[in-house]
Structure 1
Amino acid sequence: MARRSSPCFGLEFKDMAVGRPDITTQLLHVPHLRRIRDASIQDWGDVNVDPGLRSEASKRNRPHLPTTRTNAVESAAQTARKQRSLTDGLSDAPPELEGVPAIDWTRSYHGLGSISFTPEQTETLLAPLTQDDVEVKPDGIIYLPEIKYRRILNKAFGPGGWGLAPRGESIVTAKVVTREYGLIVQGRLVSIARGEQQYFDPDGIPTATEGCKSNALMRCCKDLGIASELWDPRFIREFTSKMTKEVWVEHASTKKKRKIVLRKDDTAKYPYKEVKA
């Protein structure tokens, strides 16, 4: 008699003279194939199936009895699916605040590169740095304090004429907090940058998020030409040779000595004190 294979892997159907199919199992011991077998047994209904296989399949396909815990889990899962849909809302209109359409700065590029600033604003942004503004880290890296970036923006656009809008959630790793921000000036996006800040204790995460924001502001201001000298190798070499010095210091607690870089008009601060090499 003829034999034909079913689409279900591991099952073979044999045509009987009476026209009723019989199921012989050659089931592989693989979980997803076992589920296919169980589904096939349920579909065949009352055909000639080994009672042991039917009983096993029925137990495996039997729905779980509802309990308070399973009901709570299913309810929470349904709520999460509704709240975290990746497709709902993508074509929605921008939100409105008191009837005025608002821009969603988490994904909008409104006004980017559309128009330049006025000559007065440009002059303020591109003004050369004075050597008194520049600070030096102990490892020799020169930088401009974050507050001075804010002062330049306030001078160019006025307080309230600019702001930082987060473009994503804060990402907290074992040692770093990072987040992407957009610099908004007079209602349009002018720059995007990702800030980062290290932390050493979980209690310091809130402070690190503020440092992350300031770091993003500094990187956004680089696109506006503010303090561009800090990325100019010639300016760095000239400032380092004229305005900095290397000194040996000793830690007040550990008594360890190390060499650090200071401005020539600066002295070592606690917990360090200058010592001879």
Structure 2
Amino acid sequence: MGRETVLYPARWEEGEWPVLQNVRGEMEGWPLPAEDKSVPGDGPFNDEADEFDFDSSSALPKHFVHWRVPRDGAFSFTDKGLQIVPSRNNLTGVPYSETDVVLTGRRGLSFVGRRQTHTLFDFTVDLDFTPREIGQEAGITVFLTQANHIDVSVVLLRGEDADKTPKLSLRLRAEGTGGPPPEKIVAVPEDWLKRPGPIRLRIQAKDPLSYELSASKRCSSTPDIVLGTASSGLVSGGNGSFVGSLAGAFATCNGAGEGADCPAGGLASFKRWRYTPVAQFISADESVPSN
């Protein structure tokens, strides 16, 4: 069946022209067969949630996908979870570079995700990340193409004080047509740094028009940090109107290193991974709650 195939009711009386019902989010027609999920094979159905706690015995879920073929060894599983080896190119890269093909993304992108299958959803991951070099970064994203994505991450940046002491920071960054929000950087609170355990990153689609990006730390007195919102229009067209958006995780050293390799360090581990469906809009002002 084609990418844009739609199943919809039709009535064709003998001796008459067929009468086709307009395609809408909700339609009436003949009763459909009872739902039956007892089919061969394994893996999730399209409308199901993700509830993964990755460890060394895990395998990459069958519905996870990549943008471009990743390098061998870029993804593995340890007791800390899904481990991603950073790529020199970040999610945008330098797509038309004639001097460093690695930065175009054509040699692999350290990103893995799953389809955004619901208008409204809640996506969270727990990130264990101890960068050693300026520019090493890991996070989560709603990704359409290298020119269209919305990210929230943890990144090591040069400080703005007199001695330029590196600071672990949270960052909101977006690319796309139609006016992406300005980059937002917030230093990771000292209270978070003193406590062991991962940082939880979150992207929520609370309405059809925007995504909210935030971060939190379990058992911390510091409230969740909302870095901002970004328009869903950034990942709804542009260079990728035919591919659909992904929700996923990435790691990068933002161009540092040589050849295909980043400087040492910067491994990112993602333990707890949750994609929770909330609702699907069937018209401009009607939605159906997810099960």
TM-score of Structure 1 vs Structure 2, range by shorter chain: under 0.3
Structure of greater Rg: 1
Structure having the larger proportion of residues in helix = 1
Structure with more relative contact order (C-alpha pairs < 8 Å, separation 6 or more): 2
Structure having the larger proportion of residues in strand = 2
TM-score, normalised via structure 2 length: 0.20
